[in-house]
Amino acid sequence: MLPEAERDALLSAGAPVRFADDEILVVQGEIGDFLYVLTEGLVKVMVAAETGVETALAVRARGDLVGEFGMLDSMPRTATARAVGLVTAVKVGRAAYDVLAGQYPTVLPAITRYVLGKIRASTERRAAERFWDARTLLAQVICELAEAHGERDPEGTVRLPFTQSEVGQFAGVAVSTAERVLAEFRRRGAIATTYGAIVVRDLLFLKEVRFSEKDR
């Protein structure tokens, strides 16, 4: 969303950092005065209930920001972010961000649009959870993850580095329901499951499920 000069300035405004698999970038409830610009890898956004049980809400990837809400409004972090595999990023503190925003007037409007896009996507997903059935929701989420973040192999299958439980959480579907629907997708040959991952074998079938059910 940023012009090249502003993008380069943002990446130069912070320090490069690396995170190993499952390492935490930001913690829910903490006060933070920095954000991360992701440069490589995937990050899971998790929200914990009062019981301590975490639910996966979203995935962030290269070019995304992590932790910008807490930095911009000085309020506690709304979620925890965990690395999925190796993640590299640029850590930008509030002081450096303020200087950048002062030097480049287009930065703040672009980041505002980016934040609003996240809020809009969250609202649309909550609305979908009220009207779509579990089968449609899971097909939708798997398609989105495969198209945006999947690792395609020479045979044309797409590997998603997420568990069945996490995919169900992304879709807002109960664990037992997700297991039942994903078992159906396995029987049809649309997916296969391995330790810590889902392999998409028939993306076209899942797209047909997504559109046929949504159009009813």
Q: Domain of residue 9: give its range.
A: 4-128
Q: Per DSSP, what are the bridge partners of residue 18? A: 88
Residue with tokens 């910008």: 68
Higher pLDDT, 117 or 127: 117
The pLDDT value recorded for residue 130 is: 82
The structural domain count of the chain equals 2
Tens digit of each residue's pLDDT (9 = 90 or more) over 19-64: 999 999 999 999 989 999 999 999 999 998 877 778 899 999 999 9
Dihedral sign, Cα of residue 214, residue 134, residue 156, residue 154: positive
Higher pLDDT, 212 or 1: 1
The verdict on 164 and 142 lying in the same domain is: yes
Last residue within a domain, chosen from 103, 128, 153 = 128
Q: CA dihedral in degrees (194, 199, 202, 204; nearest 10)?
A: 140
pLDDT(101) > 60: yes
The verdict on 26 and 111 lying in the same domain is: yes
pLDDT(9) > 80: yes
User: Which SS3 state, helix, strand or coil, does residue 201 take?
Assistant: coil
DSSP line for 42-88: EEEEEEE-TTS-EEEEEEE-TT-EESHHHHHH-PBPSSEEEEEEEEE
The verdict on 116 and 177 lying in the same domain is: no
Burial 126-137 (b: 16+ CB within 10 A, else e): eebeeebebbbb
Q: What is the reported pTM?
A: 0.86
Distance from C-alpha of 137 to C-alpha of 182, rounded to nearest angstrom: 11
The pLDDT value recorded for residue 136 is: 94
The verdict on 12 and 117 lying in the same domain is: yes
In the chain, what percentage of residues exceed pLDDT 70?
Answer: 98
The verdict on 106 and 160 lying in the same domain is: no
User: Which SS3 state, helix, strand or coil, does residue 130 take?
Assistant: helix
Last residue within a domain, chosen from 102, 128, 154 = 128
Distance from C-alpha of 193 to C-alpha of 121, rounded to nearest angstrom: 27
Q: Are 79 and 10 in contact (CB under 8 A)?
A: no
Average pLDDT over residues 166-187: 94
At residue 169's C-alpha, the angle toward residues 152 and 202, to 5°, is: 30
The pLDDT value recorded for residue 83 is: 97
Tens digit of each residue's pLDDT (9 = 90 or more) over 201-211: 999 999 999 77
Residue with tokens 């990837």: 61
Dihedral sign, Cα of residue 93, residue 98, residue 103, residue 106: positive
Last residue within a domain, chosen from 128, 162, 194 = 128
Side-chain-side CA neighbours of residue 91 (13 Å): 11
Dmax over CA atoms of the chain, in Å, equals 57
pLDDT(99) > 90: yes
The verdict on 107 and 155 lying in the same domain is: no
The pLDDT value recorded for residue 213 is: 53
